[in-house]
A = this chain, B = another copy of it.
């Protein structure tokens, strides 16, 4: 699983920083998470293949998370895309996109499936043979979800040394062994799967939580994830402002990370009032050591990060 942060600025785009957007890659699937203005150019800088993006997840309908969506979809169209696109986002996202296509007299050559979200409870919104994606309901000034991306349990590895000792096991039996099933000989003797296989490779998981008030009830849902991106718009010194604007402080984000026992926390969505963003990392590290600052366009490989 690999994460590329395309932008993490809050509110207003600047010359230095782009608004929220991330690209998550796993098993050759490319999930785009949020799409602030300028995301399509950031995707080009990241050398991402536009055609591989088939699923876009929008946390909420504030401009810094969604104003790049229509431009990206228009470019897909101009570049001749025909593959359908799935867009997951708050109720209203369909009208948001379709009215702009109508007024710009753009007629799409690819179908857009809108999956409009309204629930206040976590929902499984995407599933294929390798991946689950769940919503993480958040508390913000407008209806907002985070997203939890989980690789499904992987197949167990064959212990070829042990398997070699039992002539009866044929290649066609391997898949059942990888699934964790025991082996039964012709004579009816059961050989435990644990003797014939080794444990599965790690299944990676990633949680994206932006924007939100400090919301400790998400902890149970994101427990033990490998990487958590959690907004930290302010420092603890502006806790009252964070509460008023329904954002989180770096210390609060670290508290969530600690309680959820995640492996790494990435901070982001910093207020423009802070010129040196290392203060966020310093504050979070007071209670959660593995706190990281985001880096635009750097590919973060979870396997390398965690090993």
- Contact check, B71 vs A37: say whether CB atoms are below 8 A apart: yes
Complex alpha-carbon distance, A61 and B74, angstroms: 13
Stretch of A21-29, A38-46, A120-128 at the chain-chain interface: A38-46
Spell out A's residues near B (CB within 8 Å).
Answer: 11-15, 37-38, 40-41, 44-45, 61-63, 66-68, 70-71, 74-75, 78-79, 92, 95-96, 99-100, 103-106, 141-142
Of the candidates B78, B104, B105, the one whose C-beta lies within 8 Å of that of A11 is B78
Given contacts A38-B41, A61-B105, A96-B100, 18 further A-B contacts (CB under 8 A): A11-B75, A12-B78, A13-B40, A13-B41, A14-B44, A37-B37, A37-B68, A61-B103, A62-B105, A63-B70, A63-B74, A63-B106, A67-B70, A67-B71, A92-B103, A96-B103, A105-B141, A105-B142
Complex alpha-carbon distance, A268 and B276, angstroms: 39
Of the candidates B14, B67, B99, B105, the one whose C-beta lies within 8 Å of that of A99 is B99
Number of copies: 2
- Contact check, A95 vs B99: say whether CB atoms are below 8 A apart: yes
Complex alpha-carbon distance, A106 and B62, angstroms: 8
- A-B CB contact pairs (8 Å), 7 listed: A62-B104, A63-B106, A67-B70, A92-B103, A96-B100, A105-B141, A105-B142
What residue in chain B is nearest A97 (Cβ atoms)?
A: B103
Neighbouring B residues of A78 by C-beta, 8 Å: 11-12
